[in-house]
């Protein structure tokens, strides 16, 4: 039997082709038949539903990222903006904290680029660290493979969020091309006398015979792996003398802008730099032992009055590997100040004083060795008196109350302040201490008995001693180790062909250092490397680093606001002193974002955290689904172990990229915590707002595709007055949003103001939409200001606006995408308006009149409040009445006083 098309003489392929053409024609005629977007089809979709949103984000996701992906030559004639979010550890999975910080940095990068700045927003990986080594021990994965796999996955996750990172500047700290320069900087520090070795206390697992990091010791003081009780043991460790820069770092905090309380945290961490350490040589029976000791004094100017050196009973001299250990232990009696037969020679003054083991268990803060000076400390005087120690009085008070120095060699006759300055300077010149620091601060211990870290570029030679690896031999690369046990000494000691080497000086047999560096060393300079990430000749080019630095805005968590920030500032100060950079401080502004918290549910009896499927939420209170036990409900930082984490990928799938971005920016100011509750809080609000923006654009498109040609002359007086209000509102919002983006980064307030402008435009009459240039301009301006925060929907809205017929605004670059538009500026005419406005005054929601005041004052609630109270209206209606609260609306020039009747 013949088919129908055969009977009519039509081949099947031709008919199918004709049917396809017919279907395509029908789709063009009937927009509702298939949902698509303008950028793909040239046909505007009326509603912003789920399918349209997915198509918009799929279309624009790759296009909105492209512009940030290439390194261009720095155009030094243009103003730069360096925005940096703290780089992550590649754990393998993004969490909402990551999403929040990177959304903020992405928004600011896009905003500054629209302002005409030359912007970098780099990203990299803090890739060394203990978790990779633990994965190797537990799962047999090599740390490098585990790390690279995690980086690949997290990179894909970041790309899926549409973030505008400068990916060609990507750095990874575990790659030799990066840690070569970490080693280079270490050697620079070594050559400057800022690196040394001494014994320090570590956590020791007596079963596995290995050093444990603090996080490997549980709350009971036991090893995470063997379960053994952890011991405290002295091992020889590497230190960086960060205390040398303490005073300079404390003083330069005053040159920085407000850091939301972080400057105070930095200052508190450093402490009051009033004293210093001075170096001593130890002697026994008049003979030098070769051992040195640094001791702290609060009053360096009075050093010639020293009577003794004081050490604590748990000092390394009594418990470490000192040659004097047995002598100190034999002379120690617990609970008593013990005069020992060991003396200490001050390498500055050449004075010799005895060492006393203190009866105390601790001194102030972190001091374990201090200089006893009876002239300035009554406790020191009492110890000297009780032990019969001699000393000189070195402070003399003149009749006018001025204190001067006596019996102090060349410093005699100076005031205490003069002597402090001169004596510490002389100590620094001789390299025997003298750097002002506090009793809170310790030098930076960087040794780690681990494999997965930057190898310390030091060679130990029996003839030459400690020798740095020559620069031309860098990097010292990690050897390939295939088996990790977590037991015994450093894994690098198990590779003799790597550890055994020749001394660079004498060419004799020597051994490499087998400790690796703390990961804080890697992250102490990464912001400098971003400025010149592919340089194979040096850590960075000075001209480039001088152009891009300092970082204009540094964004990260408050948990990094002390140690990481301190170490990064130290390295920057050091590079400045080495003339490697011209900027002393690395970060100009700091934005510390709060946590994202979610509800946790735990049993009150055992404090066990429960999964969502173990909880019955149908009643008035949540209970355990099996036992019906009432649960303790709290808001806590999202955590896998607490079963309250939220997967960013699931959120993107459910709500979309732009909704998630807007939620994060709108839910709270950056420095505050976000309490995540998607059902009741900001998510529905920002979704509705996107729909209203889409609806506004639809209205303009439909109005301009009508047969009526737009003509502003057709507006009546009332409509012209409405148009002027729209113009005024647009300019006010431009001014305020720009301010929020540049000063306090109050994105929630910026979104609120943009929502307000959306509402104003939504109320516009049809003639206004059709004939008003002000409406068209305000909508275009609104779209531009939304773009940094929600780039995908803004890009599609702009594409729709760009193809509107009969435009009234010709000064926008309609042929360019929205992210290539210039950030809007306040119209000059708006700034030239009369400076006096009429403020409407309401009392308990009832209008009472108006008060004239300057336009600038009208935005400040306190000043408006005061002016009205002093006005005739205020004296008449408010004098003597208790005011409970006042609400100011600068946008509508209205203030409402709530007073007690």
Residue 164: C-alpha distances to residues 471, 549, 660, 737 (Å): 36, 20, 16, 21
State the Cα–Cα distance between residues 858 and 840, nearest whole angstrom. Answer: 11
Q: Which stretch of 17-31, 224-238, 254-268, 408-422 has the lowest confidence by average pLDDT?
A: 17-31
Residue 774: C-alpha distances to residues 96, 119, 518, 697 (Å): 40, 32, 59, 14
Identify the pLDDT of residue 29: 32
pLDDT at 21 over 60: no
Residue 135: C-alpha distances to residues 125, 452, 509 (Å): 18, 11, 35
For the sheet containing 500-502, what is the strand order?
Answer: 465-468, 458-461, 509-512, 500-502
DSSP single-letter state for residue 630: B
pLDDT at 498 over 90: yes
Go through 119-153 and write b for each residue having 16 or more CB atoms within 10 A of its CB, e for each that does not.
bbbbbbbbbbbbbbbbbbeeeeebbbebbbebbee
Identify the pLDDT of residue 127: 96
* Per-residue model confidence as pLDDT tens digits over 297-353: 999 999 999 999 999 999 999 999 999 999 999 999 999 999 999 999 999 999 999
State the Cα–Cα distance between residues 387 and 392, nearest whole angstrom. Answer: 15
For all residues of the chain together, what is the average pLDDT? 89
**Token duo for residue 111:** 């905003």
pLDDT at 18 over 70: no
DSSP single-letter state for residue 272: -
Band of the pLDDT at 34, cuts 50, 70, 90?
A: very low
Band of the pLDDT at 17, cuts 50, 70, 90?
A: very low
Strands (E), 123-212: 124-125, 171-172, 195-205, 210-212
Band of the pLDDT at 31, cuts 50, 70, 90?
A: very low
Identify the pLDDT of residue 642: 82
Dump the DSSP string for 380-426. Answer: HHHHHHHHT------EEE-TTS-EEE-SSGGGTTSBHHHHHHHHHHH
Dump the DSSP string for 63-126. Answer: HHHGGGS------TTS-EEEEEEPPPP--SS--HHHHHHHHHHHHHHHHHHHTT-EEE---EE-
* Per-residue model confidence as pLDDT tens digits over 280-294: 999 999 999 999 999
Identify the pLDDT of residue 8: 31
The count of C-alpha atoms lying within 13 angstroms of the C-alpha of 751, restricted to the half-sphere facing its C-beta, is 26
Dump the DSSP string for 561-608. Answer: TTHHHHHHHHHHHHHHHTTS-S-S-SEEEEEEE--EEEEEEEETTT--
Peptide bond into 550 cis (omega under 30): yes
Going by C-alpha positions, the residue among 347, 409, 416, 418 that lies closest to residue 375 is 416
Identify the pLDDT of residue 23: 35
The mean pLDDT of 532-554, rounded to a whole number, is: 97
- SS3 at position 361: coil
The mean pLDDT of 458-475, rounded to a whole number, is: 97
- SS3 at position 460: strand
Residue 520: C-alpha distances to residues 134, 564, 580, 695 (Å): 19, 7, 20, 50
**Highest averaged pLDDT of the listed ranges 37-51, 86-100, 529-543:** 529-543
**Token duo for residue 742:** 């540049």
- Residue pair 322/278 in contact (Cβ under 8 Å)? The answer is no
The mean pLDDT of 780-798, rounded to a whole number, is: 97
Identify the pLDDT of residue 25: 33
Which is more confidently placed, 872 or 190?
Answer: 190
Which is more confidently placed, 612 or 734?
Answer: 734
pLDDT at 28 over 50: no
Which is more confidently placed, 362 or 135?
Answer: 362
Q: Which residue has the tokens 């303790």?
A: 632
Band of the pLDDT at 68, cuts 50, 70, 90?
A: low
Q: Which stretch of 401-415, 566-580, 755-769, 799-813 has the lowest confidence by average pLDDT?
A: 799-813
Identify the pLDDT of residue 67: 59
Identify the pLDDT of residue 224: 75
Q: Which residue has the tokens 């410093």?
A: 411
Band of the pLDDT at 12, cuts 50, 70, 90?
A: very low
Band of the pLDDT at 13, cuts 50, 70, 90?
A: very low
Band of the pLDDT at 36, cuts 50, 70, 90?
A: low
């Amino acid at each position: 039997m013949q088919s129908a098309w055969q009977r009519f003489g039509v081949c099947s392929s031709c008919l199918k082709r004709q049917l396809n053409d017919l279907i395509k024609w029908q789709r063009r005629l009937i927009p509702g038949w298939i949902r698509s977007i303008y950028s793909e089809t040239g046909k505007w979709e009326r509603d912003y539903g789920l399918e349209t949103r997915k198509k918009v984000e799929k279309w624009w996701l790759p296009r909105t990222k492209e512009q940030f992906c290439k390194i261009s030559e720095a155009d030094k004639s243009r103003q730069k903006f360096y925005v940096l979010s703290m780089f992550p550890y590649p754990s393998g999975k993004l969490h909402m904290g990551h999403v929040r910080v990177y959304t903020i940095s992405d928004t600011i990068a896009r905003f500054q680029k629209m302002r005409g700045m030359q912007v970098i927003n780099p990203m990299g990986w803090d890739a060394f660290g203990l978790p990779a080594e633990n994965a190797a021990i537990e799962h047999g994965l090599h740390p490098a493979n585990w790390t690279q796999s995690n980086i690949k996955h997290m990179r894909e996750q970041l790309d899926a969020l549409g973030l505008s990172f400068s990916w060609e500047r990507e750095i990874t700290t575990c790659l030799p091309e990066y840690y070569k320069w970490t080693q280079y900087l270490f050697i620079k520090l070594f050559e400057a006398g800022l690196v040394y070795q001494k014994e320090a206390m570590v956590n020791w697992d007596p079963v596995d015979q290995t050093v444990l990091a603090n996080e490997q010791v549980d709350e009971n003081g036991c090893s995470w792996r063997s379960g053994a009780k952890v011991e405290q043991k002295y091992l020889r460790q590497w230190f960086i003398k960060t205390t040398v820069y303490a005073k300079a770092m404390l003083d330069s905090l005053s040159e920085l802008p407000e850091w939301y309380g972080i400057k105070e945290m930095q200052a508190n961490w450093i402490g009051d730099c009033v004293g210093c350490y001075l170096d001593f040589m130890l002697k026994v029976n008049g003979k030098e032992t070769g051992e040195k000791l640094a001791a702290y004094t609060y009053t360096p100017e009075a050093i010639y009055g020293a009577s003794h050196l004081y050490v604590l009973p748990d000092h390394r001299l009594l418990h470490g590997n000192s040659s004097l250990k047995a002598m100190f232990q034999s002379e120690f009696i617990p609970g008593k100040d013990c005069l020992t037969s060991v003396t200490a020679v001050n390498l500055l003054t050449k004075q010799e004083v005895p060492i006393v083991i203190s009866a105390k268990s601790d001194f102030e803060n972190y001091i374990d060795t201090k200089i006893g000076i009876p002239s300035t400390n009554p406790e020191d005087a009492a110890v000297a008196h009780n032990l019969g120690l001699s000393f000189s009085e070195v402070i003399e008070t003149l009749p006018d109350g001025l204190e001067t120095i006596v019996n102090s060699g060349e410093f005699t006759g100076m005031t205490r302040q003069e002597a402090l300055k001169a004596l510490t300077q002389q100590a620094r010149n001789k390299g025997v201490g003298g750097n002002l620091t506090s009793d809170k601060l310790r030098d930076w211990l960087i040794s780690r008995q681990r494999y997965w870290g930057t190898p310390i570029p030091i060679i130990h030679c029996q003839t030459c001693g400690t020798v740095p690896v020559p620069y031309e031999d860098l990097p010292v690369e990690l050897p390939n180790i295939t088996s990790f046990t977590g037991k015994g000494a450093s894994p690098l000691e198990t590779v003799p062909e790597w550890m055994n080497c020749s001394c660079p000086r004498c060419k004799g047999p020597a051994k490499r250092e087998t400790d690796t560096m703390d990961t804080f060393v890697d992250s102490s300079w990464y912001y400098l490397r971003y400025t010149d990430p592919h340089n194979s000749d040096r850590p960075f080019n000075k001209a480039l680093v001088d152009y891009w630095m300092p970082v204009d805005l540094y964004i990260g968590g408050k948990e990094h606001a002390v140690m990481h920030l301190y170490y990064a500032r130290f390295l920057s100060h050091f590079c400045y002193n080495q003339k490697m950079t011209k900027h002393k401080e690395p970060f100009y502004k700091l934005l510390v974002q709060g946590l994202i918290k979610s509800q946790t549910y735990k049993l009150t009896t055992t404090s066990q955290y429960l999964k969502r499927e173990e909880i019955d939420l149908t009643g008035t209170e949540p209970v355990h689904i099996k036992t019906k036990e009432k649960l303790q409900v709290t808001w806590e930082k999202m955590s896998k172990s607490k079963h309250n984490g939220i997967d960013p990928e699931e959120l993107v799938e459910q709500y979309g990229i732009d909704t998630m971005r807007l939620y994060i920016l709108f839910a709270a100011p950056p420095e505050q915590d976000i309490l995540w509750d998607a059902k009741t809080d900001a998510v529905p609000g920002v979704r509705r707002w996107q729909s209203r923006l889409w609806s506004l654009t639809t209205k303009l498109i439909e109005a301009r595709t009508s047969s009526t040609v737009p003509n502003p002359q057709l507006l009546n007086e009332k409509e012209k007055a409405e148009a002027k209000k729209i113009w005024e509102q647009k300019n006010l919002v431009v001014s305020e949003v720009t301010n929020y983006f540049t000063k306090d980064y109050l994105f929630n307030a910026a979104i609120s103001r943009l929502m307000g402008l959306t509402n104003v435009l939504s109320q516009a009459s049809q003639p206004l939409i059709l004939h008003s240039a002000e409406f068209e301009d305000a909508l275009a301006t609104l779209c531009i200001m939304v773009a940094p925060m929600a780039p995908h929907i803004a890009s599609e809205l702009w594409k729709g606006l760009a193809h509107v017929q009969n435009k009234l605004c010709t000064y926008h670059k309609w042929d360019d995408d929205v992210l290539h538009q210039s950030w809007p500026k306040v119209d000059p005419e708006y700034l030239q308006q009369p400076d006096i406005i009429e403020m409407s005054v309401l009392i308990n929601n009832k209008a009472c009149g108006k008060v004239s005041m300057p336009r600038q004052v009208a935005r400040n609630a306190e000043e408006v409040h005061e002016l009205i109270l002093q006005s005739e209206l205020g004296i008449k209606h408010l004098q003597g009445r208790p005011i409970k609260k006042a609400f100011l609306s600068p946008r509508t020039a209205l203030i409402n006083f709530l007073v007690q009747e």
